[in-house]
Structure formats: structure tokens, C-alpha cells
Amino acid sequence: MRLIPLFLAFAALAAEPGAPLPGITSAELELFGLGLEDFNEVETAEEGLGPVFNGTSCGQCHSVPAIGGIATMTEVRAGHVDEQGKFTAINGETLFSVFSIGKHECQVQIPAEANVIARRVPTPLFGAGLIEAIPDTAILALEKPVGDADGVKGRAARITDVATRQPRIGRFGWKAQQATLLAFSADAYRNEMGITSDLFRDELVPGLSPRQLKLCPSRTGPEDVRSRETGLRAIDNFENFMKFLAPLDRGAAGDDAVEGERIFAAIGCAACHVPAMTTGPSANPLFDRKPVNLYSDLLLHDVGTGDGIEQADAKGNEMRTPPLWGLRFRRPLLHDGSAATPLEAIRRHGGESEAARTRFLALEPVEQKHLLAFLGSL
């Protein structure tokens, strides 16, 4: 049995950001610790990093305010839209990596035919295991195919999970592109770090010419293999870390924040930023019918901010409602990091959220202050 690092044992007691779920068993805490270690491990080209990559460890982009959070970086997606509005992923992929393992000869180039460019900030992972445990049916139940009186629709992302090959409802990522933490781990290991696995066996190389590929050799076959000691792949370790990672605690909420939450619901923000969902029945008490206070419906919406990129089931104009829990630790805001403050993010809400924005703008200044105090307490 491995020794559990002392700080993890303390973190579990104190519910600090980055702590595991309260009630975690010692066997689970061991998996969480192993996962945390791998999540922070810096990879090298010898270990499979590249040929192109955005970061060298998961922790690099998921570390604020604690490991599992965010970072100030953005990554780049690009594609082509023709005159009929049909989107094409150039060479089948939309992600264009920032760095390469070689010299400048194998640096990724965004092809000239790309006429859509998008940037995306990282999303935090606190409470991800609880989000994973929300049943597909609970997300589907929130869909509004014809739209409510405000014109709020919301569509579940119907995807195939690469880990199980089952049809599932996506919930992770700005486009709700993945349903499970194992699939997202494999997706991120390949997309962010260039490390292939059983689930994504081919390197991600859009923006590299065949000549460049010779200069910056890409390996075939999975680079992430099972550890002889634990029998686990790195992607299993990442999954375990994120699954057992606790949500951030709510900040202090005074009377103004309480009043602000009432206004948030009254003006229609909660139509998409649904305050709580519930996990399904589970043999594991950590995930058995637990409330998940995420402030999201996990559905795709057109709120006028879409990044133009078609990905998984999401259209160019659709984005997943971002969970607002932990918002006080998150800046910048919106998928591309273009909003500095919650107020600016609200002002950018159009499309399906036009009515809610209009009502917000019509509030008394003191009511707006209460609503912002509520957001500041998340």
C-alpha cells in the first residue's frame, strides 16, 4: 500500500480548493493521490510529448486557484466555412497547437483556407465526478426543443463516448463534446500534449505538412501504456483525480447575495444556469443521488457568442452553458476569455438569453448589485 501524502489527508479534512470529495475511502484517496501525481507530471518528447502540443502537463493549464482549476492561457481552433455556411474541419481537426517538440521547422501553420478562428480558455475540473454522475436522462429532461416564452431553447449534445462506444449525452468542454472523464482525459492527453492512447491512437497533426512530419516524427501506436506497478494508464489516473476532486465551497453570502440569487431566478438566468441537478443512483455513496449545485443545464444554447467552430454535436453558434460554481475564482470569462467581469459577460448575452439580459439591464442599480454579489459568492 502506498502512503497517502500528508497534505492530502489534511486537504480532505479542511475542504480546501483541490481537496477530494468528503467521505472518500482510503482506497479512493490513494487513487486520487496517484492521479494528482500524474496530472502534474511534466512530459518530455521521449515519453511521447508532441510532435505538437499546447502544454507539457495537465496541471499547467488547470492550476488556479488549486490543481484542477484553470490558467490564463487560451488555445486556438480554426476551420473553414463556405458560402453556403457549411463548416469543414481542415484535415479533419479544428485544434491548432501552439508548440512543437522540434525547432521552428515543425511549428504548426494555420492554413490560408481557414476563415474561422476561435480561442478558448480552460474550464475548471472541481466537482467533475459529480457532473459525470448526472444521468443522461436528467440532462435530456431539461431540453426545450420549441423554446419557452423567453425563447430559451437548449439542446443536449448527442455524442458517442469513445471510451465505451455508447451513445451518450455530452457535458464536458465548451461544446459539451465529451460525456465521460476517461474520454476527456484521452482527448486532452492527445490534443493538449500529443500523447496517444488506446482511445485516440493517432497523433493530432493538422497544420503540419508531410514534410514537417518527417522532421518532427510522430510515433504510431498508443504512447500511454499501463504501469507495471498499478496496471493503470495515465488516462485512468487523470480520470481518478478528476472524479474524486471536490467542488469548490461557496464563498461568504450575505443578505445581498441571497437577494441576488432570488433576482437571478426571477429574471430568467436560472432557465439555463440551473442551480442544482442530482446524480443518479450509484453503488458508490459519494455519487449516490447527490445534489450538484453547478448552475448549469449542461445544454447547448445560442446566446450570440458562438465561436463558429462545429465540434462533436455542437453547431458553430452553440456553446454549453458553463457551470457558474467557483465563478469567483475564474477570470477571464466567456469561452474565449473576452469578458473581464461577470457584468461584461452578462452584457454579452444575446440570442436565447436576450430576454434575461434585457431584464437585467432594466433592474434598479441596487438590484443589479445584489445579483453581482450573488455571482461573487459562487
- Grid cell at residue 277: 441537478
| Between 24 and 238, CB nearer to ligand HEC | 238
Q: C-beta of 83: minimal distance to ligand HEC in Å?
A: 25
- Phi, psi dihedral angles at 217 (to 5 degrees): -55, 135
Answer yes or no: are the C-beta atoms of 260 and 375 closer than 8 Å.
yes
State the burial class of residue 112 (Cβ atoms within 10 Å of its Cβ: 0-12, 13-18, 19+): exposed
State the burial class of residue 213 (Cβ atoms within 10 Å of its Cβ: 0-12, 13-18, 19+): middle
Q: C-beta of 350: minimal distance to ligand HEC in Å?
A: 10
| Between 83 and 364, CB nearer to ligand HEC | 364
Q: C-beta of 24: minimal distance to ligand HEC in Å?
A: 19
| Between 214 and 291, CB nearer to ligand HEC | 291
Q: C-beta of 282: minimal distance to ligand HEC in Å?
A: 19
Handedness of CA 129, 133, 136, 141 (dihedral sign): negative
Distance in angstroms (rounded) separating the CA atoms of residues 20 and 32: 7
Distance in angstroms (rounded) separating the CA atoms of residues 333 and 18: 21
Distance in angstroms (rounded) separating the CA atoms of residues 260 and 181: 33
Answer yes or no: are the C-beta atoms of 326 and 377 closer than 8 Å.
no
Give the position of cell 479544428.
94
CA 13-26-35 angle, 5° bins? 90
Q: C-beta of 141: minimal distance to ligand HEC in Å?
A: 16
What residues make contact with ligand HEC under the rule CB under 6 A? 54-55, 58, 60-62, 73, 75, 120-123, 125, 128, 152, 172-175, 181, 184-185, 188-189, 192-193, 238, 242, 264, 267-269, 271-273, 301, 303, 305, 319, 321-322, 324, 330, 333-335, 342, 345-346, 349, 352-353, 356-357, 360, 375
| Between 19 and 299, CB nearer to ligand HEC | 299
- Grid cell at residue 358: 434585457
Longest CA–CA span in the chain (Å) reads 63
| Between 9 and 64, CB nearer to ligand HEC | 64
| Between 62 and 212, CB nearer to ligand HEC | 62
Please count the CA atoms within 13 angstroms of the CA of 198 that sit on its side-chain side.
Answer: 13
- Of 106, 327, 356, nearest in space to 216 by CA: 106
Q: C-beta of 261: minimal distance to ligand HEC in Å?
A: 11
Q: C-beta of 148: minimal distance to ligand HEC in Å?
A: 10
| Between 10 and 100, CB nearer to ligand HEC | 100
| Between 114 and 271, CB nearer to ligand HEC | 271
CA 55-129-269 angle, 5° bins? 90
| Between 29 and 314, CB nearer to ligand HEC | 314
| Between 9 and 308, CB nearer to ligand HEC | 308
- Phi, psi dihedral angles at 154 (to 5 degrees): 105, 125
Distance in angstroms (rounded) separating the CA atoms of residues 323 and 103: 39
Q: C-beta of 373: minimal distance to ligand HEC in Å?
A: 12
Q: Pseudo-torsion of CA 18, 24, 26, 31, nearest 10°?
A: -60
Q: C-beta of 214: minimal distance to ligand HEC in Å?
A: 26
Q: C-beta of 221: minimal distance to ligand HEC in Å?
A: 18
Distance in angstroms (rounded) separating the CA atoms of residues 156 and 312: 12
